[in-house]
Each structure stands twice: as structure tokens, then as C-alpha cells.
Amino acid sequence: MAEICYFGGLVHYKAPSPFSLHSLFRSKPHYYNSTSLMAECRSSSTVEPPSLLVFSGGTGFNGVVEELKKLTTRVAHVLPVSDDGGSTAEIVRVLGGPAVGDIRSRCLRLSDESTSEALAVRRLLGHRLPIDAHQAKKDWYDIVEGNHSLWDGVSRPYSETIRAFLIYFQNEILRRPNERFCFSNGSIGNFFFAGARIFFQSLDAAIFLFSRVSEIPCDSLVLPVISTNDRLTLGCELQDGTIIRGQNEISHPTNGTMQTVDKRHCSNSALPSKIKRVFYMSSEGNNLLHEVFPPVNPTVLEQLRSVDCIVYAMGSLFTSICPSLVLLGVGEIISSRSCRKVLLLNGSQDRETSGFTASCFVTAIADALNRTHGDPNIRLKNPPGYYINTLLVPKDGEIAVDLKQLSEQGIKDVRVVESVGDPKHGILFNPSSLINMLAGLVE
């Protein structure tokens, strides 16, 4: 028995073995494999709904995920693992590894809501601790020890499994006495994810576990664009040659403070120059400005080859979308496909895209997929029309739609979708109108 000491008492905990999780998964044990899982789902259905692959971040597309489930659950959600802000930054700082905040956020949106227990699990894994550091630590220990009201409605098999990995996460923190961990505004789902990833030494296995615990439809895939157990750092080069290190510093710098930030309406000063490209940087050693070239998750390439529609979602263009596009192999496959390739235009500007028109968004995506400003030995020269053939625009959005330039880029199918005004987020796609439009495109 491993003994972990908290200020609230002693918790005796035996590390979970993979065999203790089989009853939770309700199936014979097998390794995480997206192809087998999707085939398993389709075997019981004679008419297949359309399949989509969506490039997005952890925020922008979340608002339409619920509505998308009404059209199809055959969706591969491809997300970056380079977010270094908020509670994710604290986990990465102390424990290392990839950022899981965007993945956790999408998993929660896809999780089951059909039963009271499913809602209780979703509420638990979606909970954030208070901003006040002392109160956050107290609440965290109450949760780990099983005394918090968040456990109400969660059955014993689920609570024991979730607590096991939360305790494992806490144990990993205690093993690093020289690093003081701050629980302020921490995400319980992020802590669970980090505990599972470290235990299994596999990000894919952690996603598989989270997917089963939260009962995500088995043909819905949440895919890190890079499947890694290492920390990844995003960098960008501005047109004036300036290099900025870290996703948070690019999109919404917080001067080292932990705070909730609305990237689309933050008060940060504008970038000194427009962004030229994004790339991955070394996280280790002395030369932290050194560019690195991590391999893309093979399952992402596998899905790109077969889906009925590829979607570039709304969100932070350079820090949420482009990090998934600059990897070797992505542009090659997308340019070879003859399926629908749809760009969902943002409804408002942010720090990354100040002054952009619709054709500027298209150029940025094509440059990322072509790796235009990177190593000339791996550069592609495909026109934008090879990557995008349909543009969906929210009605009354802030971004100018320059039809002439879009036509010159090869994009002639531009459609306006009903929108909604949000006092916090500005102009957004109306979720049902957007999904109805996508349904018409893929069907």
C-alpha cells in the first residue's frame, strides 16, 4: 500500500492495475485503436452518417459540438497539445509532458449527458478550483479524499477509478518537493488527465480512459495532433523577424499571472508585426530557440485519408488551427483529397488576426499547409484552392469578405450562415444553422 499524507489526514491508496479497470470499460481489454473502435460502432448500423475531421482548439468550436452530435458522431477532433496557459501551464511546469487542456475541454463537450450519473461525472471532471490559492488547496484535498459534494451521484466503480488517478497525480506532485504546485483555478479534468498520462506513460491511453469514463460515443475521436509524452512549445516568427516563444505569449500574454482570458476580447496590445509562421521549438537544453519537427499523430493522417469532409474550425488562427497544419504529411494528404474542405470564418478579430480579411485567413492556412516559410526542402507549392473549397461566413461578422481575392485564390463557394450575438464573445455562428449548412454540404 502506498501512503500519501495530506493536511486533512492520511489516505491509503493502492495504485490501480489495468486489470481493475476492465469492469469500467465493459469490454475485454484491448489497446486504444481508433480504427477498431469505429468499426465496432459501425458494425451495428446499416446506414452510415457522414464522417468529418475538424481542426480546432479547445474553445472556438466547443459551442457547436452538441449540435454536431445530432448530425453525426463520426467526427475526428484534432487538437494541438501546445497550450501553455492557465492551470495547464502549472501542470507542465511541475510535471512536464504535453498540454492536455484543449483535449480535456473537447472530451467534456462530447461526454454523455443522458443519465444523472453521467451528468455528475461531467460536473466533477469539468470543475475548476477557486482562484484563491488557500481555498483551492482545501477544496482539492476534499475532492481527493472523497469528501467533496462533487462526488454525489457518482457510483463506486467510477469514483474509485477517478480518485485513483487524482491521487496518483497528487503523489507525483509530492515526489517533487522542490516545486511548489499552485492549485488556483485548477481543472479537475486536467489533473485526472495528467495522472492517467503519467501512470500509463501514454497520452493516447489517457484519452481512451477519459473517453470511457465520460462515455464519449465510440466513433467520436479526440486526437492530439502530436501523440507524445513530452512537453511541446509553440513559437512564432513575425514578419519583422521577431520570435515569440510560447502559445500564451503569442495570443494573450498574462505577464505570468494565472487568470481566465477571453482571447477574442482581451486588452493586450497588438503584436508589433503580423505573424509570418508558427513552428515548434525545443523545450530542453540551452538552445531554446531551436526549431524542432515532431511527427504528426499517424491516426490523424489515417483519418484525413478517409473522411467525407475536412473542417478548419473558428478559433485562434495561428495558435489553435495552424499548429496542426504545419506538420509534415498533413498538407500532402489534404491537397490530394477531392472531398469538401470547409473553412469556418471567425466572427470577430483577435490579437493574432487584427486587420485580416477572409482571404488573409485562407492565405495563412495555405501557407501553414505548404510550410511556405519553413525549410525549403519540405516546402509545398499548392494553391489555396487545393486546401479549401468552401467558406462559411457568420452573418454580420466583423471580418471583411473580399470575394474578388477569394475567387483568385480558387474559392468561389462562399456561404453566409445565420449568427448570434454574444456580449462576451461577439458574433458567433448560430449552432443549428451551421450544422444544417454542413449537413447540406456533406450529404
pTM for this entry? 0.87
Task: Quickly list DSSP for 252-305.
Answer: ---TT------GGG--PPPPSS-EEEEEEE--SSS-TT-EE-PPPPHHHHHHHT
Interval 349-376 mean pLDDT: 94
Across 48-126, the runs of DSSP E, i.e. the strands, are 52-55, 75-79
Q: How far is CA 174 from CA 128, 168, 171, in A?
A: 21, 10, 5
pLDDT at 41 over 80: no
> How do residues 50-67 score in pLDDT, each as one tens digit?
999 999 998 889 989 999
Residue 40: which pLDDT band, with cuts at 50, 70 and 90?
A: low
pLDDT at 199 over 70: yes
**Could you give the CA distance from residue 151 to residue 263 in angstroms, rounded to a whole number?**
32
Residue 29: exposed, middle, or buried by beta-carbon count in 10 A (0-12, 13-18, 19+)?
Answer: exposed
- Please state the separation of Cα 181 from the chain's center in Å: 23
pLDDT at 6 over 60: no
Judged by average pLDDT, the poorest of 230-244, 280-294, 322-336 is 280-294
Yes or no: say if 73 and 172 are a contact pair by the CB < 8 Å rule.
no
Residue 27: which pLDDT band, with cuts at 50, 70 and 90?
A: very low
Interval 219-235 mean pLDDT: 92
Residue 46: which pLDDT band, with cuts at 50, 70 and 90?
A: low
